Structure 1
């Protein structure tokens, strides 16, 4: 998958500036796609030159003018074509897992610290996703939202992001417990 597909999907929400997209990535697609603002701006320029999106200039009085982007017919067709192709299985490439695998021949304390950091990061992300979920539901039950929402894709990906972070939390807590028990056994 290319960054452009994530951008096209984000523009389904409506037109947005590069800044809004970068900020919105954190609130909408960060549970499955990461990009730096620099990567995003480069991709927006490429996509505009390829006719997948179009930009219009918005003049502002006390701020610099900004460009806002929207999907073109070609962009919508590219997104539809992308969704029609079967997704490849996810390949996990996780540096921490390599360190954990090598734990017995390495710096156990450093690995334990890295696991604890992963745990705290996963808890923070999960809390962030819960806030996003509450904002999307806006007082409705999940069932009410899914029955009436114009778009359910953002909520379904949010569910996936929450499940992923919950799995990280469960694993990290278990790994730390095992390491704690082993330290008492050898200490």
Structure 2
């Protein structure tokens, strides 16, 4: 999937600055799409040139002017077309998994530290997602929200992010248990 499709989907919520989009990517879209602010700003320029988004300058007092972006009719069409295309299969590219694959001939303590760091990161991300879920629901039950909300796509992707981080934590706990046993066995010797 191209970054442009993720940007188009983010702009469905309405006009936004590059800064707002970057914050939104970090807070909600990060559960399924990662980008750097530099990549995002380059893509916004390309999308403006391609006529998918309109950009206007908003003058601000005591702050630099900001550029805000919104979908054009061509952008709406491109997003609708994207939703009709079959998705490509997902592929995991995770450096940590390569380290775990090679841990038996590597530095087991360093791999353990990397797994523990991933678990800490996943717990923090899960906590952020759960706080976001609570804000979105705003006291409503999930069932009521899914029936009554105007748009449920962002909520469904948030749920996927939550389950992804829960699984990362579960796997990390298992991996740490196995690695700790192996480290202990090495200390005790044959």
Task: Please give the range of the TM-score, normalised by the shorter of the 2 chains.
Answer: over 0.9
1-structure distance, mates of 2:66, 2:180:
53
Q: State the shift of 1:64 in Å.
A: 1.0
Alignment of 1:1-187 (within 5 A): 1-186=1-186, 187=188
2-structure distance, mates of 1:145, 1:21:
24
1-structure distance, mates of 2:122, 2:75:
34
2-structure distance, mates of 1:65, 1:117:
39
> Any conservation in 2 of the 1:10–1:28 contact (CA below 8 Å)?
no
TM-score, normalization by structure 1: 0.98
TM-score, normalization by structure 2: 0.96
1-structure distance, mates of 2:143, 2:83:
25
Q: State the shift of 1:24 in Å.
A: 1.1
Moved segments of 4+, more than 4 Å: none
2-structure distance, mates of 1:10, 1:4:
10
Unmatched 5+ stretches in structure 2: none
2-structure distance, mates of 1:55, 1:184:
60
Q: State the shift of 1:141 in Å.
A: 0.7
Unmatched 5+ stretches in structure 1: none
> Any conservation in 1 of the 2:109–2:183 contact (CA below 8 Å)?
no
State the superposition RMSD in angstroms. Answer: 0.8
